[in-house]
C-alpha cells in the first residue's frame, strides 16, 4: 500500500517535471525549428523557467523529501526513491538561483553561437561564449564542493560517484590495450569501404531512416525524428521523446547509425516507469547507462553481421549500383572498418575511445584553469595527433565538432566510453540469456532484446547507481574485459586474423 506522504511527493514531483518538460520542449524547438532571430528571447525564457524550477525544488520537493526520510512505513522502493531524490536535491540546491538562471541563458546563446561558428569554421566566434560558460561551470563546481579537484564536482552530475582519479586508471588501461590492438589491425590487409560512399538522395535516406526506426521499435505516436546540426534525443514526457539525425548525400551510414544511436536513447526514455515521473525511478540511471543503451543498439546490434544480413538487400536497393554485388559479409566488414578519423561521431568502435580520452583531458584542464580557452584549438590538434596520428583540416572538423561544451556539459564526455563498456557487458549477458538472439536479429526480430532491456535496465530507473545496477544485471561491477573480448572476436571476422 502506498504511503500517503509518498503519494503527495509523487504529485509534487510530477508538477515539477511538467515545468522541466516545458524547458525541454523549448530546447528541442531551438535546435530544430526556432527562427534564428528569436535566440535572445529564448535565452530569457529558459532563464526564467530555470529559476522557477529551481525554486520549486527548494519549496515543493525538498520539504516533502526531508519529512519522508523520517518516516518508517515506506516500502523498499519508496525508500530508495526518497533517498535518491534527497541526495539529488541536496546537491542541486547548493546552487544559487541566479547562477542557475545565468547558466540557462548563457548556454542557450552559446549553442546558437556554436552553430554559427561551426558553419563559419571560426573558433574565434565561439571562444567568448565558451569562456563565459567555463567561468560559470567553475563557479558551479565550487558551489557543489569536491574532495580532490573541480572536475569531479561536474563529473558527478553525469556519473554520480565517479572521479577523475578513477578515470585516469580506467582510461589509461583502455589506451594501453587499444593502441597495440589498433596497430595489429593496421598491419592486416585493409578493408575496402569505398563502395559505401555513393550519392543517395536525401528523401530516400530519410524514408529508410523512418523504416529502420519503425522496425527497431520506435513508437512514432510518442516520438518524432528531425534534422539538427548535431544528432540528439530529448525526453519531454514518457509519451513524448524526440530524436534528430543527420543526412549526408554521399554517406548513408552517417544517417543510419546516428538514427540507431538516438533510437537507443529514446527507447530507454520511453521505457522508464511513467508512474514515477519526476522521481528517481522514473529517470535514467546515469549518463553512462544512457549511453550504454545507444551504443548497444548502434554497435553491438546495429553493426553485427546478423543485422547487416537482414538489411543487406534493402540497403543495396538504395545505392545507384546496388552495392555492386557486395554480399552481406563484405558490407559488414566495410561498416566496421577501423580507420582513424577526426570526427568522433563517425569513429569506429576502437578509435572512438581515443576521441573521448582527448576530450576528457582537455575539458579537465579547462576546468582546472591550466588550459586557456584561446589555446584550445592548438591543444586539440596536438592531442589528436598524439592519440590518432591525424590533424583536423579545420576548426569545424576539430574543436568545433561537438555541441557539448556550448550547452555546459563539461564532464559528460567520459560517459560515452563508460557507456560502450557497459554496453559490451550487458550484450554478453543478454546473449547468454537469449541463445537465439543472433538468429532473431538476422530475422529482423528485436522484441526479445527489447524486453530484456526493459526488464533488467529500463524498469529500474535511477533507484541504483551505475555500478550497483551493473552488478544486479551481470553479477559484477563494470569490467572492461567484456569490451576488449568483444572487439577481439568481432574484428577477427572483419580483418581475418587468428584468435
- Encode 189-203: b = buried (16+ Cβ within 10 Å), e = exposed: eebebeebebebeee
For cell 513508437, the residue is: 219
What's the rounded Cα separation, in Å, for the pair 47 and 383? Answer: 36
Q: Given strand 240-245, what is the order of strands in its sheet?
A: 223-227, 240-245, 233-237
Contact present, 487 and 180 (Cβ < 8 Å): no
At residue 157, what are phi and psi to the nearest 5 degrees?
-65, -30
Kindly state the DSSP code that residue 406 receives in the 8-state scheme.
Answer: G
Region label for 472, one of left (φ > 0), alpha (ψ between -120 and 50) or beta (otherwise): alpha
Please say whether the beta carbons of 57 and 16 come within 8 A.
Answer: yes
49 DSSP 8-state letter: H
Q: Which three cell numbers stand for residue 282?
A: 522514473
Q: Assign 3-state DSSP to the chain and report helix, strand, coil percentages, each to 5.
A: 70, 5, 30
Sign of the dihedral defined by the CA atoms of residues 115, 121, 125, 130, in that order:
positive
DSSP one-letter string for 238-287? TTEEEEEE--BTTBHHHHHHHHHHHHHHHHHHHHS-GGGTTSGGGS-S-H
Which of 457, 449, 8, 429 is CA-nearest to residue 272?
457
Which grid cell is 378? 592548438
Query: Within a 13 Å sphere around the CA of 403, how many CA atoms are in the beta-carbon half?
Result: 15
Residues with catalytic annotation?
A: 262
How many C-beta neighbours within 10 Å does residue 453 have? 23
| CA atoms of 164 and 166, how far apart (whole Å) | 5
Cα-Cα-Cα-Cα torsion 82, 18, 411, 140, nearest 10 degrees, comes to -80
Amino acid at each position: 500500500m502506498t504511503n500517503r506522504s509518498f503519494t503527495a511527493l509523487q504529485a509534487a514531483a510530477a508538477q515539477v517535471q511538467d515545468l522541466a518538460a516545458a524547458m525541454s520542449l523549448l530546447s528541442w524547438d531551438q535546435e530544430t525549428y526556432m527562427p534564428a532571430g528569436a535566440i535572445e528571447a529564448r535565452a530569457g525564457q529558459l532563464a526564467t523557467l530555470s529559476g522557477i524550477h529551481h525554486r520549486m525544488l527548494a519549496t515543493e520537493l525538498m520539504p516533502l523529501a526531508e519529512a519522508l526520510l523520517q518516516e518508517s512505513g515506506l516500502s523498499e522502493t519508496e525508500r530508495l526513491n526518497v533517498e535518491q531524490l534527497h541526495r539529488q536535491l541536496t546537491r542541486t540546491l547548493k546552487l544559487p538561483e541566479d547562477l542557475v538562471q545565468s547558466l540557462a541563458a548563457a548556454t542557450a546563446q552559446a549553442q546558437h553561437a556554436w552553430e554559427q561558428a561551426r558553419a563559419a569554421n571560426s573558433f574565434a566566434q565561439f571562444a567568448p561564449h565558451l569562456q563565459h560558460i567555463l567561468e560559470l561551470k567553475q563557479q558551479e563546481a565550487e558551489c557543489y564542493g569536491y574532495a580532490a579537484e573541480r572536475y569531479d564536482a561536474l563529473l558527478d552530475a553525469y556519473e554520480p560517484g565517479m572521479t577523475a582519479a578513477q578515470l585516469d586508471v580506467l582510461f589509461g588501461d583502455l589506451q594501453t590495450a587499444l593502441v597495440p590492438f589498433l596497430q595489429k589491425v593496421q598491419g592486416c590487409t585493409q578493408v575496402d569501404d569505398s563502395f559505401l560512399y555513393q550519392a543517395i538522395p536525401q528523401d530516400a535516406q530519410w524514408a529508410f531512416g523512418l523504416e529502420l526506426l519503425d522496425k527497431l521499435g520506435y513508437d512514432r505516436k510518442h516520438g518524432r525524428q528531425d534534422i539538427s546540426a548535431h544528432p540528439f534525443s530529448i525526453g519531454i514526457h514518457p509519451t513524448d521523446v524526440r530524436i534528430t539525425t543527420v543526412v549526408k548525400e554521399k554517406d548513408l551510414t552517417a544517417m543510419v547509425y546516428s538514427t540507431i544511436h538516438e533510437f537507443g536513447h529514446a527507447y530507454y526514455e520511453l521505457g522508464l516507469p511513467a508512474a514515477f515521473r519526476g522521481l528517481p525511478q522514473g529517470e535514467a540511471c546515469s549518463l553512462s547507462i544512457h549511453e550504454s543503451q545507444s551504443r548497444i543498439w548502434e554497435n553491438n546490434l546495429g553493426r553485427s553481421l546478423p543485422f547487416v544480413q537482414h538489411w543487406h538487400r534493402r540497403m543495396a536497393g538504395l545505392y545507384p549500383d546496388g552495392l555492386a554485388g557486395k554480399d552481406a559479409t563484405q558490407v559488414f566488414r566495410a561498416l566496421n572498418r577501423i580507420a582513424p578519423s577526426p570526427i568522433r561521431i563517425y569513429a569506429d568502435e576502437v578509435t572512438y575511445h581515443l576521441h573521448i580520452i582527448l576530450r576528457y583531458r582537455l575539458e579537465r584542464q579547462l576546468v582546472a584553469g591550466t588550459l586557456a580557452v584561446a589555446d584550445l584549438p592548438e591543444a586539440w590538434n596536438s592531442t589528436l595527433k598524439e592519440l590518432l596520428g591525424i590533424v583536423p583540416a579545420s576548426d569545424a572538423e576539430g574543436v568545433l565538432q561537438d555541441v557539448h561544451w556550448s550547452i555546459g556539459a563539461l564532464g559528460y564526455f567520459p560517459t560515452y566510453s563508460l557507456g560502450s563498456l557497459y554496453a559490451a557487458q550487458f550484450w554478453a549477458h543478454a546473449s547468454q540469456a537469449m541463445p537465439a538472439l543472433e538468429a532473431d536479429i538476422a530475422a529482423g526480430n528485436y522484441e526479445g532484446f527489447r524486453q530484456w532491456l526493459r526488464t533488467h535496465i529500463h524498469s529500474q530507473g535511477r533507484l541504483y547507481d551505475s555500478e550497483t545496477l551493473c552488478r544486479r544485471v551481470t553479477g559484477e561491477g563494470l569490467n572492461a574485459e567484456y569490451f576488449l573480448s568483444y572487439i577481439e572476436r568481432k574484428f577477427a571476422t572483419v580483418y581475418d586474423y587468428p584468435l
